[in-house]
Amino acid sequence: MPNDILIAIPVYNEQLYLERVLSQVKSIGYDVLVIDDGSSDDTPQILRQQEGIRVITHPENRGYGQSLATAFKHAQLADYDWLITIDCDEQHEPEQIPLFVQAALTGAADIISGTRYPTGIEVDASVPADRRRINQSITATINERLGLGITDAFCGFKAYRVAVLSNFEVTVPGYAMPMQWWVQVARANLSVAEVPIRLIYNDPTRHFGGLLDDPTVRLDHYMKVFETEMATCSDESSKAQAGCQPCH
């Protein structure tokens, strides 16, 4: 069973956390893939010293969404059954990986998505107010427009049935990728289950980059990506060519 599951970790300038996270993830016992998204700190040197992992390096920074797309492709080509993605900033706890494995192996869902807000977006002093507000707004929009019933639109801790990854065409390279991805989940009529995980914010000052550090600009960008993908989904000629399932 361990060789049927791949743990993928997208990293970009994560020298502060990388060794600890890798040590914990490797101890779980599954194959490990690291996607180094063009890091310019000591991340590449740390990765060269690691044993027992596979590394795919982007020659330049391409974005979080593109790192996930790279992980999707590798999992498909290597013929894994399940892909589990976990971030490298210690906001996801590797010891919770078995929870995703357990949920995946029940066969009840195609996507197992972590949720930091299983009972809804609650006030927590550790969570920057703009991030909580944007997550709440986007999650509500996704549920209303797609009928998915999720509680956390942005959690990167997930398990994917590799057989369904062919349904996704990730063309949004950055942090807005989930806006495109959730539409494609609904379009393919995939089943989704959630696994509660602990809410951890180690560094509320981390940047999204450029204009996206402005919460208003960031929310507008997310919604533009969402509406663009929805328009693709609802276009009759595109549905006829791609065999799309109708979105709600």
Q: Residue-wise pLDDT tens for the chain (248 aa)? A: 556 999 999 999 999 999 999 999 999 999 999 999 999 999 999 999 999 999 999 999 999 999 999 999 999 999 999 999 999 998 999 999 999 999 999 999 999 999 998 876 555 556 677 888 899 999 999 999 999 999 999 999 999 999 999 999 999 999 899 999 999 999 999 999 999 999 887 665 665 566 567 888 999 999 999 999 999 866 644 444 444 444 55
Among candidates 59, 76, 75, 55, which has minimal Cα distance to 10? Answer: 55
The answer to whether residue 229 is domain-embedded is yes
The answer to whether residue 189 is domain-embedded is yes
Q: What is the pTM of this model?
A: 0.89
The answer to whether residue 178 is domain-embedded is yes
What are 48's two structure tokens?
């060269």
Q: In which domain, by residue range, is 199 found?
A: 2-242
The answer to whether residue 123 is domain-embedded is yes
The answer to whether residue 248 is domain-embedded is no
The answer to whether residue 113 is domain-embedded is yes
DSSP H or E segment with residue 134: helix 129-146
The answer to whether residue 247 is domain-embedded is no
Q: Are 201 and 127 in contact (CB under 8 A)?
A: yes
- Residues 69 and 239: their CA atoms lie apart, in Å, by 22
Task: Give the CATH number, domain containing residue 103.
Answer: 3.90.550.10
What are 158's two structure tokens?
């997930």
What phi, psi does 125 have (nearest 5°)?
A: -60, -25
Please report, for residues 23, 148, 188, the alpha-carbon distance to residue 245 in angstroms, rounded to integers and kept in the order given. 42, 14, 6
Full strand arrangement of the beta sheet holding 82-85: 54-58, 31-37, 5-11, 82-85, 158-161, 111-115, 192-196
- What total number of domains does the chain contain? 1
